[in-house]
Every structure is written in structure tokens, then in C-alpha cells.
Amino acid sequence: MLSMPMATALIISYRSIISTVVVSGMETTSSVAARAASRRISSFSTSTSSSLFSSTSSEEIDLSAAARAASRRISSFSTSTSSSLFSSTSSEEIDLSTAAAKPLLPPKRILLLRHGQAVHNPRAEAAREAGCDFSEFLRLMGEDDAFDSPLTELGEKQAIHAGRQEHIEHTLRDIEMVVSSPFSRALKTADLVHQRGDIKRVCIEDFREINGKSLNAKRRTRSELEDLYPHWNFDCIPMKDESWTEELEDKDECANRGYNGLLWIAKQPERKVMVACHGGVLNLTLNTNRNIVLLDRRRKTDSDEEQRCITKRFGNCEMREFVMTGWAADDMSNVQQDGEEQQVVLTLEEVTMELQESDIYDEEKVEMM
């Protein structure tokens, strides 16, 4: 059985695998890259994987889920027809091990929601869907740019419609906190999707869109936002937007902001949280940050939702549901340097957006810290 640092390294290695085979949120097919990445995990392997996140004791969770999910996801990128990419059938393929450890931060449900269509979106998003490059995407957004870009009429209708869909309405019933970026398009979307007025609503700066360059990435002052959205708590954001510059924010910095926002949520007492934010910060945070691991635990059906790759960029007003758990990443040289605060690896397991008993961790089996 592996130690906690080694188990965490297994997850981090999986993060590296996905970074290898996912480029700018778009999938590639490279079995060679997958097999090469698999060899990086081999040093942590001692036996064959066991059951998916099954409880091995009152203090342990089986981390082999990450290993097998990695196998499944890498197989989807592979052109190989072998039955199992990681089965030990050649010198390049390995068995993945069972690694048991206790989570540093307990599992909780998180609903990630991109805002509805805003005034800078229509042409740029259409071009992106048609395959334009990032510079063309930015150019079109720039031509339609607007300060604190509001929702279009269609964007408001998208948000209202989303909140009335049966499966979303059902999963919103037990939300304990709503979180939003400090931009009006995200705040308005959150209010239209989840209209219960008695829910705690908190604005977090970390979830703002990629910062700089565009006016749509520049926010209002805290006092202005408090006047416009008096039912929201803005205590966590600075009074003025002093971080915006005419230069576009570095992608790694944006991804790290998103990670810090998710980590803040992971440390809060609320067990189920909805977050309204933006396509860029979501894409970079989930797909490029080394401390975040995406896993697919959706039920496999023929529906478009279950066929969608979990790394695909969010569409306007699209919501996805995850089980988020925090794992200690201390003693790992590639994550933590001497003197730094303890780092946390967050696993985000996407689940089918319904409240199914099979999707929920049993507290009697998993001891929470």
C-alpha cells in the first residue's frame, strides 16, 4: 500500500497525463503520449487496482479511482484497439496500484455554471465554434467589447430556462451557498438560475474572467456592485479593481486564481455550492492547473451529455456538477517547496446531474476531517 505522498503523486501524474493529451481544451489522439505518461505512474504501482473509491476502512478512501479513470480517459484519446491501455501486455504498459489515504478536505458537491450570453459573446463564440484561433477570438470580442459586459436578452432567457430545467431545478434544491465572480453577467446569471432569496450569496474575486486588456474584464467598484446587487456579500473583494491592466493576464496566473477560488470553497462549511463564472477561467483552471485533477464519474448513456468530453469548454449558461475532494500534497517536490504553505490537490469528479445515491459519499463509511 502506498504512502499518502506517493498516492498524491499518482494523482499529480494523472494531471500531467491529461495536460499531455489535451491542448487548449481540445482533444488529441496520441496513444504514444498516453503510454509514455503511463510509465511516469509505474513507479507508484504495486498491485492491480481495486474498487472505485470503495471504503477500505472508516479512515480510508481508495484512490485507485483516479488511476482507472486515467486509464479510461487516456484510452479515449488513443488510436489503439487494445482492451486496456494500462494492462501489462508489453514493456510500455503497466498495472496501476491501490493507494489508500484519508482526504485532507472532505468531499462536497459543486455546480460550475458559465454565465449566459453577454454582449461581447455572439460573434466571438460563433467564430470559436467554427474553429478560429485565439487571436481572432480576442479580436472579435474586442470589437464588441463593453465595460462589465451585461447579459444580452438571449443570455437572460438562457439563464431563466436553465433554472427551470427539471434536472437542474432538482439538483438546486439543496444548494447551501451561491458564489459568483464580481462581473454583472455572472451575478445576474446566478440570480436568474437560482432564484431562492434565502441562500447565502458571496462574490469571490478569484473567479473573475481572464484579467486585463478587455473592458469586459474590468469590474465595477464594490460600492457600485453593492447598490446593484444588495442581496450579495461583497466583503471578499477589494473596493476598487486595481488588478486590471491593459495587458492580458498570464494563463497560469488565471488558472491559479481559479484553483484558489475552488480551494476557498473546499474549506467552507457548506456541503453543496453553485459557482457562476466564466468560460476562460473555467477552461484554464480545470484543464491546466497542476493541482486539479478532473475525473469522469458520469453514468454512460447514449445522450450527448454523457458523450461530451469532460475537458470541453463550457458553453454559455452551461452547468456541470462535480464531487470535489481535497488531498494533501505535502512532501512532493513538484508541488511544494521548503517553507511554502501546504498544497492541496483537488479532485473534481464530474457526475450526472441528478441526485443519485450511488453518486453521494456515505459519511458513515468515510470519516471526515
pLDDT tens digits, 77-135: 332 222 222 222 232 222 223 334 678 999 999 999 999 999 999 898 888 888 899 88
Percent of the chain at pLDDT exceeding 90: 50
Residue 215 and residue 141: Cα distance in Å, rounded?
10
pLDDT of residue 126: 87
- The pLDDT tens digits for 199-243 are 999 999 999 999 999 999 999 999 999 999 999 999 999 999 999
pLDDT of residue 20: 36
CA atoms within 13 A on the CB side of 108: 27
CA atoms within 13 A on the CB side of 197: 3
Which residue would you say has higher pLDDT here, 340 or 6?
A: 340
Residue 53 and residue 62: Cα distance in Å, rounded?
5
pLDDT of residue 36: 29
- Quick check: 56 and 1 in contact, CB under 8 A? no
Residue 138 and residue 299: Cα distance in Å, rounded?
36
**Statement: residue 281 has pLDDT above 50:** yes
Confidence of residue 330 (pLDDT cuts 50, 70, 90): low
C-alpha cell at 324: 470535489
Q: Among the listed ranges 52-66, 130-144, 145-159, 285-299, which one has the minimum average pLDDT value?
A: 52-66
Q: Which amino acid is at 273?
A: V
Residue 189 and residue 151: Cα distance in Å, rounded?
8
Q: Which amino acid is at 213?
A: K
Which residue would you say has higher pLDDT here, 91 or 336?
A: 336
Question: Which of 95, 39, 101 lies closest to 68 in space, CA to CA?
Answer: 95
Residue 255 and residue 267: Cα distance in Å, rounded?
19
**Statement: residue 368 has pLDDT above 60:** no
CA torsion, points 105, 257, 312, 53, in degrees to nearest 10? -10
- Quick check: 262 and 344 in contact, CB under 8 A? no
Question: Which of 265, 253, 255, 257 lies closest to 322 in space, CA to CA?
Answer: 265
Which residue would you say has higher pLDDT here, 7 or 192?
A: 192
pLDDT of residue 101: 62
Confidence of residue 327 (pLDDT cuts 50, 70, 90): very high
The label of the residue with cell 453553485 reads 274
pLDDT of residue 333: 38
> Which residues does 169 contact at the CB level (< 8 Å), separation at least 6?
163
- Residue 203 vs residues 53, 231, 266, 318: alpha-carbon distances, Å: 33, 11, 15, 20
- The pLDDT tens digits for 158-202 are 999 999 888 888 889 899 999 999 999 999 999 999 988 789 999
Tell me the average pLDDT across 269-286.
Answer: 97
